[in-house]
């Protein structure tokens, strides 16, 4: 016979125990999660509601805010609802496997009204940009210095040819004048002799009286002839000397041409340095962002330490051969959706986490994360977290197919800057962290760009160059920037490669070369013109002065001979002769 009173009492007790377990699990689990999270991170974990029980296969969590350990006034993440559906069959095997879950209203970095700090943890120092910035600053000084030098260069336009010609034109008229002066003195003496001969011819009786004068005239005529001969010799030597000076002018011209030819653009812009200067800082921010993501993966999913695994103090758990151990807890699939911000612009995203477990070595496979944005800002993030081996391996791939970039000023220095019109950039980053070794690259392709140079340097040459350069810069339709990353998360290194710098450097160097060639051609033309004019003037000088002096000397020579003969004839008529 059944004792109903006994059965009722036992059932009542059992019901009470099960009820206590059912209703006590949620607050206990909530308390445990909050306590453990706050103890481990030192940041507040606030859970609005939590519904869990050993007698149901679903956990529902609502309104969770977890403060950022590095910034207590911000949340590391928060979400409005989470539904985790456990595999019933796996639960019978004491494994908590989430086959399908969802996390709605996920947000990162939202503001808090109260501080989320529980204890004061030591915060790691930022290990980035100071070195990079110093490097860029140094590069900037070199490039900007060179470019400004090129644009502000002044050319020496004082040709030696002109100076040499000027000397010739100043000297030779004086020389000829001096020669003429000497001739004029002789002419005066010749006139005296002519007057004497005429007086003797008019009055022969005076011959004896003027005999000393006649005697002097005869001696002077000899001297004058000698002087005239000297003058003609001087004239001839002047002719030779002028020819020498003409050759000197030609030699000066050649030297000037050589000097013009030596004008070279020795300072060529280095494309790589220019890339560093122009886009290094901006790309450095992208690299910082990508590295911060991979660091986030590494810190958010640390390698589970062995002591965290169930380490029973009592006895030893025997692993039977041929049985593959599955992890005790595993999230096979967890769908995410939420709101984030990028460059202060909000976007919505959906995502999925797969293969997340606290026992990755047992699971033997990595965990995967995937986020995709919806709306204006398009991007996708794929992450891999592999803790299944002794060496941790993380990978993150970020793709932004089209990101609008507003007008930019790429400053080279205070005097020269480049204007980059608004365009679209495609970014593809892939970074791996194996152990503590970083590798990967961040690639950005910017298309349909419009580049112009702006400068406040005021000189004609810079003006001409600016105009030519802008024409050349129009040819640059796009560029890409690739930052190769290495080093460690604490001390990352990156090497920037971009075709922007080389393209701009090519345009600059080409324009500067053409500008220099144009300037050289202009200088050569001017020199030729100046030299030709000088040579022609030398020829004219030679012709005109030599002719005048030569004719003068000839006439004087002729006259002195005539006078000498006339005087001789007069003396002969008088029966006089000089010994």
Partner 1 sequence: MFLFIYKTLKILISAIRGSDSPKQIGFGIAVGMMIGLLPKDSAFAMMFGLFVFATSVNLLATTLSAITFALIGSLCDPLFHQVGLFVLTHENLEATWVWLYQQPFSAWTRFNNTVVMGSLLVGLFLMFPIYYYSTGFFEANGARFSRSLTRFWLFRVIAGKKKLAELAGAES
Nearer to partner 1, 120 or 314 (CB): 314
Nearer to partner 1, 38 or 326 (CB): 326
Nearer to partner 1, 9 or 536 (CB): 9
Shortest Cβ 386–partner 1 spacing (Å)? 26
Task: Please calculate the CA angle 293-299-304 and round it to the nearest 5 degrees.
Answer: 135
Cα–Cα distance, 37 to 211 (Å, whole number):
145
CB atoms within 10 A of CB 511: 23
Selection from 270, 271, 275, 273 nearest residue 139 by Cα: 273
Shortest Cβ 9–partner 1 spacing (Å)? 4
> Is the distance from CB of 412 to CB of 147 less than 8 angstroms?
yes
Nearer to partner 1, 87 or 424 (CB): 87
Shortest Cβ 440–partner 1 spacing (Å)? 41
Shortest Cβ 317–partner 1 spacing (Å)? 5
> Is the distance from CB of 385 to CB of 366 less than 8 angstroms?
yes
Shortest Cβ 11–partner 1 spacing (Å)? 9
Name residues whose C-beta falls within 8 Å of residue 33's C-beta, 6 or more positions apart in sequence. 45, 47, 50
Phi, psi of 100 (to 5 degrees): -150, 125
Task: Measure Cα distances from 298 to 68, 306, 411 in Å.
Answer: 16, 17, 36
Nearer to partner 1, 7 or 177 (CB): 7
Shortest Cβ 7–partner 1 spacing (Å)? 9
Nearer to partner 1, 17 or 137 (CB): 17
CB atoms within 10 A of CB 325: 13
Nearer to partner 1, 322 or 575 (CB): 322
Shortest Cβ 83–partner 1 spacing (Å)? 25
Burial of 503 (0-12, 13-18, 19+ CB in 10 A): buried
Q: Could you say which DSSP state residue 111 is in?
A: B
Structure tokens at 186: 């002789």
Cα–Cα distance, 303 to 259 (Å, whole number):
71
Task: Measure Cα distances from 485 to 159, 280, 288, 391, 490 in Å.
Answer: 55, 13, 10, 20, 13
Nearer to partner 1, 21 or 40 (CB): 21
Nearer to partner 1, 89 or 233 (CB): 89
Structure tokens at 192: 């005296």
Cα–Cα distance, 175 to 188 (Å, whole number):
20
Please, what sign has the CA dihedral across residues 561, 566, 571, 575? positive
Cα–Cα distance, 484 to 495 (Å, whole number):
5
Beta-bridge mates of residue 409: 419
Shortest Cβ 28–partner 1 spacing (Å)? 16
Task: Measure Cα distances from 4 to 1, 11, 12, 17, 402 in Å.
Answer: 9, 10, 12, 20, 75
Nearer to partner 1, 93 or 171 (CB): 93
Task: Measure Cα distances from 459 to 431, 487, 566 in Å.
Answer: 48, 47, 76
Q: Could you say which DSSP state residue 389 is in?
A: S
Shortest Cβ 92–partner 1 spacing (Å)? 4
Selection from 429, 365, 368, 433 nearest residue 395 by Cα: 433
Q: How close are the terminal C-alpha atoms of the chain, in Å?
A: 197
Beta-bridge mates of residue 369: 353, 383
Nearer to partner 1, 5 or 264 (CB): 5
Nearer to partner 1, 92 or 188 (CB): 92
Task: Please calculate the CA angle 101-106-109 and round it to the nearest 5 degrees.
Answer: 145
Selection from 429, 511, 495, 510 nearest residue 275 by Cα: 495
Shortest Cβ 315–partner 1 spacing (Å)? 3
Shortest Cβ 2–partner 1 spacing (Å)? 11
Nearer to partner 1, 1 or 258 (CB): 1
Interface residues toward partner 1, by CB under 8 A: 3, 6, 9-10, 12-14, 89, 92-95, 312, 314-323
Shortest Cβ 55–partner 1 spacing (Å)? 14
Shortest Cβ 18–partner 1 spacing (Å)? 11
3-state SS class at 168? helix
Shortest Cβ 366–partner 1 spacing (Å)? 25
Nearer to partner 1, 312 or 577 (CB): 312
């Amino acid at each position: 016979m059944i004792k109903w009173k006994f059965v009722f009492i036992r059932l009542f007790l059992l019901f009470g125990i099960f009820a206590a377990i059912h209703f006590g699990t949620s607050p206990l689990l909530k308390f445990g999660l909050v306590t453990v999270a706050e103890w481990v991170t030192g940041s507040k974990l606030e859970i609005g509601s939590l519904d869990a029980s050993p007698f149901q296969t679903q956990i529902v969590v609502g309104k969770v805010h977890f403060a950022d350990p590095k910034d207590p006034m911000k949340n590391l993440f928060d979400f409005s609802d989470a539904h985790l559906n456990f595999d019933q069959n796996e639960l019978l095997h004491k494994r908590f496997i989430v086959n399908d879950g969802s996390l709605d209203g996920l947000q990162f970095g939202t503001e808090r009204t109260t501080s989320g700090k529980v204890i004061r943890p030591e915060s790691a120092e930022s290990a980035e940009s100071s070195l990079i910035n110093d490097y860029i600053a140094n590069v900037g000084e070199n490039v900007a210095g060179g470019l400004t030098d090129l644009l502000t260069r002044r050319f020496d336009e004082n040709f030696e040819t002109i100076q040499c010609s000027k000397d010739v034109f100043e000297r030779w008229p004086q020389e000829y004048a001096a020669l003429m002066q000497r001739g004029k003195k002789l002419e005066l003496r010749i006139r005296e002799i002519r007057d004497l001969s005429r007086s003797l011819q008019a009055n022969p009786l005076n011959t004896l009286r003027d005999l000393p004068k006649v005697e002097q005239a005869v001696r002077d005529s000899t001297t004058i002839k000698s002087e005239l001969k000297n003058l003609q010799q001087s004239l001839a030597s002047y002719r030779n000397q002028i020819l020498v000076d003409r050759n000197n002018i030609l030699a000066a011209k050649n030297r000037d041409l050589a000097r013009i030819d030596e004008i070279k653009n020795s300072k060529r812009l280095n494309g790589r340095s220019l890339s560093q200067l122009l886009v290094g800082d901006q790309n450095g921010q992208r690299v910082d962002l990508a590295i911060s993501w991979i660091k986030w993966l590494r810190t958010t999913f640390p390698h589970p330490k062995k002591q965290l695994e169930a380490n029973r103090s009592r006895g030893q758990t025997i692993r039977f051969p041929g049985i593959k151990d599955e992890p005790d807890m595993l999230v096979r699939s967890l769908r995410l959706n939420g709101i984030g911000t990028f460059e202060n612009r909000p976007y919505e995203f959906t995502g999925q986490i797969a293969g997340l477990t606290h026992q990755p070595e047992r699971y033997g496979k990595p965990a995967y994360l995937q986020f995709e944005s919806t709306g204006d800002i398009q991007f996708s993030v794929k992450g891999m977290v592999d803790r299944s081996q002794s060496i941790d391996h993380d990978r993150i791939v970020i793709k932004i197919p089209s990101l609008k970039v507003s007008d930019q000023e790429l400053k080279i220095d205070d005097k020269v800057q480049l204007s980059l019109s608004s365009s679209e950039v495609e970014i593809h980053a892939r970074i791996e962290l194996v152990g503590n070794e970083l590798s990967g690259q961040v690639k950005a392709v910017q298309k349909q760009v419009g580049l112009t140079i702006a400068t406040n340097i005021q000189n004609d040459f810079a003006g001409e160059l600016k105009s030519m350069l802008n024409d050349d810069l129009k040819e640059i339709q796009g560029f890409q920037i690739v930052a190769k990353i290495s080093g460690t998360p604490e001390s990352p290194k990156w090497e920037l490669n971009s075709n922007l710098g080389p393209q701009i450097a090519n345009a600059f160097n080409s324009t500067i070369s053409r500008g220099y060639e144009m300037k050289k051609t202009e200088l050569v033309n001017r020199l030729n013109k100046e030299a030709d004019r000088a040579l022609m003037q030398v020829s004219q000088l030679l012709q005109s002065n030599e002719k005048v002096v030569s004719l003068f000397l000839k006439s004087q020579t002729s006259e002195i001979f005539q006078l000498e003969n006339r005087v001789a004839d007069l003396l002969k008529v008088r029966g006089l002769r000089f010994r």
